[in-house]
Structure 1
Amino acid sequence: MLSAYYTQLVILSNVWCFIRGTSVAIPEVAVMCTEEAVLLCEAPQDPQVTYKAVSWYKIVGNSEELAEMVRKNLENDVEYYYPKELNGSLQLSNDTSYSLRITNTTSHNSGTYRCTLWAPVGEHNESGTIILKVTGCTELLDEKFKKYRAELLLLSCLGIFYLLLIFFTCTCLKKESMYVDYHKYRREQKHTLILVSAQEKKFFQYSENHGTCKNGPNLTTVQADVV
């Protein structure tokens, strides 16, 4: 009988712990676009453990895939950034809060972040998560579009100009080719007329020399002589 009550108590304790664990909400930080965001490291710290390093990760998508952003070695106070271009926008605090400061936030910075405290060998590492929400970036994009609208209009005009230039160049080349072919045809036609004129002149000279103008020339004899 006592064992049955003990079993029910254990089951109820486990259910209570499960409900309590699932009810703990992940802390959130909300900032406007281009503002500065400070993310506190939610990892539980053991005051008796001297941590060797602290790392901040960003959870990619809904999976547990992590993209390491910054890691700081607490023993020699050296920071590493992945990629290194993030060095200008990420800063780690020098105190024991291990908070992460993100400057000039954008919509790309929104997401879930994980802070991990690396303990010495034989101790447990501690981790905590926090959510960052960056809002108001749509208006910023509209302002940037308005700012660069003149440059975009200029690029569009240049593109249209070059397209028209290519079109008129091709048209002129086509007309020039037709002009050359026409003059070539005219030269061939002129050469043909010169040959015909020479044959007619020879024919008339033959007619005058043989006196065939009265009764008409003997076409058979004339053609044979001309040939």
Structure 2
Amino acid sequence: MTLAQLKQLKQNGEKIACLTAYDANMAHWVAQAGCEVILVGDSLGMVVQGHATTLPVTLEQMVYHTEMVARGAPDAWIVADVPFMSDATLAKGLEAAQALIQAGANMVKVEGGLPVLPLVHRLAELGVPVCGHLGLLPQSVLRHGYRTVEADEALIAAADALVQAGAEMLVLECVRSETAETISHSHAVPVIGIGSGPDTDGQVLVLQDVLGLTIGRTPSFARNFMAGADSVQSALRAYVEAVKNGTFPES
């Protein structure tokens, strides 16, 4: 899978399926199910390590998990999160991106809008594909909680700025459906939604939510695809099929 192929899927109106994965075994099965994109998310801090937030996840840990996922799914487009404070300065952000790309990621994901524009611009100049993340920002949970705080107009402006700076994919988390649709239709880059309605170019969920393995409260926008499935593999295929045919998420 290449970035050009992902952009072609968007142009053709075909939905893009994405899931998180954190190890080689599950990355293999996620890719086999038909997911074009695998996100090595700092969500591993919560669903793998047992933390209450993503904040304890280190760059070294992200590199370790990215290496495993890259070995398990060498043909998928792998996006790796730049973890908390690893992009606090331009120099640190460049070092983090270098480490994740050298670990096997095809693209790095950074949270936020205006503050990360210098990093996005410099990475684009250096040929590093960047995914922006807007809406609910898990790395800002201590200040804002698990909610989207920016107004629709600010989110649209931030998306415009990220793409202009060189971002070649966007993730919108818990953004109003109408706003997510506007952003998706305004840019040629793929826009992937999570809890942001059905009108983005693709969907992403945390793997454990899809398999009904989440400890504690499952996000309201998620769906347990293991319900009625006879295997993990069939549940993953059901997720991909639901994204592709537009039955997930529901309008």
TM-score with structure 1 length normalisation?
0.19
**Structure (1/2) with the larger helix percentage:** 1
Between Structure 1 and Structure 2, whose CA radius of gyration is higher? 1
- Which protein is richer in strand relative to its size? 1
